[in-house]
Amino acid sequence: MDIGQREDMLYLLKTFADEQRLKLLVLLNTKEYNVTEMAKALELSEPTISHHLTRMHAVGLLRLRMDGNQRFYSLNPDRLAVFKKYMAEIEVAPVQTPAKVSDNAWIEALPWSEEDKKVLRDYTFNGRIPNLPNKEKRFLVVLRWLATKFEPGVRYAEKQVNTILSAVNEDYALLRRSLVEYGFMRRERGGGDYWLVPEEETIPSGQ
């Protein structure tokens, strides 16, 4: 059901949400009536009947037939069928899709502290980082993990670094700069290659 159909259904529901209009629907489901006949059958005044008929006719629930000066109303079965279709769609229970669960086995396999592992569990989902941490201490844990995606002693062109980091988060430029600024990687002057800083020279996690 699209937005237009939902709005139409709500319009119809608001029309049905009146006891007198519901009585008119039942009455008009049997045969056609004029205003005088409906007023007599439901013991209501003709102005009241006319008011409700105007509302019902506006949403397409009624058919109007003129016979001289007389107006005869009957139920529009096609419009009622549309309403029944809306109700049938509501009755169909939506398919419950199973909640997605992140595979964190790779985190548990890291020889890291439980505190650092918790940061990765909180900020990664199946090896990706949907949202980067705002706090520096946690951001450093993420950078430390990103550094493990590069081989020691290997030089990487900027395009290669971008490719590796973009697989983790779309803001690969920020991650690339941060790896250099926080001392996890070095960059050749003039915009050349990138390489890992030896582990003993990197900033320890949590500092």
CATH number for the domain including 84? 1.10.10.10
Whether residues 122 and 177 fall in one domain: yes
Provide the whole-model pTM: 0.51
**Is 191 among the domain residues?**
yes
Residue 91: what pLDDT?
A: 66
Whether residues 116 and 181 fall in one domain: yes
Q: DSSP string of 105-150?
A: HHHHTS-S-HHHHHHHHHH-BTTB-SS--SSHHHHHHHHHHHHTTS
**Is 76 among the domain residues?**
yes
**Is 72 among the domain residues?**
yes
- Given 91, 120, 135, the domain boundary residue is 91
Residue 30: what pLDDT?
A: 87
Residue 10: what pLDDT?
A: 87
- What are the mean pLDDT values of the chain's consecutive 10-residue runs (207 residues total)? 79 88 91 94 93 90 90 91 85 65 90 94 92 92 94 93 94 94 90 83 53
Residue 202: what pLDDT?
A: 55
From 81, 86, 20, 6, select the one nearest 54 (Cα to Cα): 20
HSE toward the beta carbon, residue 156, CA cutoff 13 A: 21
Paired strand residues for 19: none
From 24, 15, 11, select the one nearest 50 (Cα to Cα): 24
Long-range contacts of 78-85 (CB under 8 A, 24+ apart): 82/8, 82/12, 83/9, 83/12
Number of domains in the chain: 2
Containing domain of residue 135, as a range?
105-201
**Is 96 among the domain residues?**
no
What is the number of other CB atoms lying within 10 angstroms of the CB of residue 53?
Answer: 21
CB within 8 Å of 65: residues ≥ 6 apart: 32, 71, 72, 73, 74
Residue 161 belongs to domain with CATH number: 1.10.10
